[in-house]
């Protein structure tokens, strides 16, 4: 499984074997556990970009 994911991240297949291209050719990926993701959302940050979340505080958790 790790070898497969590395090949997807490195775009080493002739074409993307996944249903979307969000991981295709990214070279590296970030792992966030659920608690860290939730903590960043609560701080008003998008955990995947590190930028301010434009929807912060709009919805009750």
Report in angstroms the alpha-carbon separations of 6 from 10, 16, 20, 34.
6, 12, 16, 22
Q: Is the dihedral of CA 8, 12, 16, 21 positive or negative?
A: positive
Query: Phi and psi (nearest 5°) for 44?
Result: 85, 20
- What residue segments make up the domains of the chain, in order of their start? 1-43
Interatomic CA distance for residues 4 and 33, integer angstroms: 21
Taking Cα atoms as reference points, which of 35, 53, 57 lies closest to residue 45? 53
pLDDT tens profile 3-53: 998 899 999 999 999 998 888 998 777 788 999 999 998 899 988 888 998
- With a threshold of 0.75, does the pTM exceed it? no
Q: Specify which residues 27 forms β-bridges with.
A: none
């Amino acid at each position: 499984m790790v070898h497969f994911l590395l090949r997807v991240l490195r775009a080493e297949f002739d074409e993307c074997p996944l249903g979307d291209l969000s991981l295709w050719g990214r070279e590296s990926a970030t792992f966030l556990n659920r608690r860290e993701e939730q903590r960043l959302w609560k701080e008003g940050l998008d955990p995947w970009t590190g930028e301010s979340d434009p929807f912060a505080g709009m919805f009750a958790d």
